[in-house]
């Protein structure tokens, strides 16, 4: 069994393509001192991502890297990795980052790229997870924080939170209810890592009561 990270203050990079509400929730966790971390940089592949503005207004460094300016994913990811390494990033947090992460990125940050998904994985991977859940007719959906591997929403699961589906729900209502829980479990998962309590063996993640357990 391997410890994901030793206990200590986390230097995070957040990658976001859009709205940035998870980014905001993580910032709030840091401000409220329930998360022992700092966000060194917010990176976006989308120049119009509201997340970029949110970061700038918090005084956090922002970086727009346009994947279309590179010959392919490897070239794009090498530059991304260089930028993150230059800032001594411990952990990369995907928060609405709309791209698959490839080998170059994952080998530079092995077990150190996290994602949040608005469903109880392995159900409803990919886009429009909340609509998939409604269309399928599940009574319970939720959200999942997981370690990123090369698949789409397939990596080892750190935390999950269930959310009920109501008869009156449409995609928007369910998404909103799930999002509230996303904002909680993402920062909880990060804090567990900061406390050195997250261990991994194969696909299974274990949360220890204290780092020495
Ligand atoms: C969230 O629903 C998250 O689960 C998914 O993308 C959405 C991002 O929302 N991966 P936001 O940009 O954090 O508001």
- Mean per-residue pLDDT, 149-168: 97
Task: Find all residues with CB under 8 Å of 204, minimum gap 6, and list them.
Answer: 156
* Residue 213 in this model has a pLDDT that exceeds 90: no
The SS3 of residue 19 is coil
On the 0-12 / 13-18 / 19+ scale of CB atoms within 10 A, 48 is exposed
Cis peptide upstream of residue 122 (ω within 30 degrees of 0) = yes
Range list of H helices, the chain: 21-31, 50-57, 73-86, 103-108, 129-136, 171-194
For β-strands 204-207 and 198-201, DSSP reports them as: antiparallel
pLDDT in tens, 174-196: 999 999 999 999 999 999 999 99
The CATH code of the domain at 8-207 is 3.40.50.170
Query: Does 67 contact ligand 1 (Cβ within 6 A)?
Result: no
Phi, psi torsion values for 74, nearest 5 degrees: -60, -45
Q: What is the pTM of this model?
A: 0.97
Which of 24, 45, 116, 175 has the most ligand 1 atoms within 8 A of CB, as the residue to mutate? 116
- Look up residue 108 and give its two tokens: 């530079």
| Residues annotated catalytic, as ranges | 117
CB distance 142 to 163 below 8 Å? yes
- Mean per-residue pLDDT, 139-156: 97
* Residue 64 in this model has a pLDDT that exceeds 80: yes
User: Which atom of ligand 1 is nearest to 115's Cα?
Assistant: 10
CB distance 80 to 48 below 8 Å? no
Q: 92 - beta bridge partners?
A: 13, 113
The SS3 of residue 61 is strand
pLDDT in tens, 117-147: 999 999 999 999 999 999 999 999 999 999 9
* Residue 90 in this model has a pLDDT that exceeds 70: yes
Domain segments of the chain: what residues? 8-207
pLDDT of residue 168: 98
* Residue 212 in this model has a pLDDT that exceeds 70: no
Ligand 1 centre to CA of 95 (Å) is 6
- Mean per-residue pLDDT, 4-9: 97
- Mean per-residue pLDDT, 88-106: 97
In whole angstroms, what is the distance from residue 109 CA to residue 103 CA?
10
Query: Does 22 contact ligand 1 (Cβ within 6 A)?
Result: yes
pLDDT of residue 32: 98
In whole angstroms, what is the distance from residue 193 CA to residue 31 CA?
18
Query: Does 19 contact ligand 1 (Cβ within 6 A)?
Result: yes
Query: Does 118 contact ligand 1 (Cβ within 6 A)?
Result: yes
- Mean per-residue pLDDT, 148-171: 97
pLDDT in tens, 16-55: 999 999 999 999 999 999 999 999 999 999 999 999 999 9
């Amino acid at each position: 069994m391997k410890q994901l990270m030793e206990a200590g203050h986390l230097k995070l990079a957040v990658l976001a393509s859009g709205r940035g509400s998870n980014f905001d929730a993580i910032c709030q966790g840091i401000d409220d001192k329930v998360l022992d971390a700092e966000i060194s940089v917010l990176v976006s592949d989308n120049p119009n991502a509201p997340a970029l503005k949110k970061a700038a207004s918090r005084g956090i460094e922002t970086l727009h890297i346009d994947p279309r300016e590179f010959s392919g994913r490897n070239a794009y990811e090498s530059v991304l990795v260089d930028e993150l390494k230059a800032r001594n990033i411990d952990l990369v947090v995907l928060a609405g980052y709309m791209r698959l992460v490839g080998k170059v990125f994952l080998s530079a940050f092995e077990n150190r790229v996290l994602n949040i998904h608005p469903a109880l994985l392995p159900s409803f991977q990919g886009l429009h997870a909340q609509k998939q859940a409604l269309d399928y007719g599940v009574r319970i959906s939720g959200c999942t924080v997981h370690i990123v591997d090369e698949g789409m929403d397939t990596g080892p699961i750190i935390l999950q939170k269930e959310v009920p589906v109501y008869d009156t729900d449409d995609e928007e209502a369910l998404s909103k209810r799930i999002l509230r829980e996303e904002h909680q479990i993402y920062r909880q998962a990060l804090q567990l890592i900061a406390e050195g309590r997250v261990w991994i063996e194969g696909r299974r993640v274990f949360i220890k009561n204290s780092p020495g357990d």
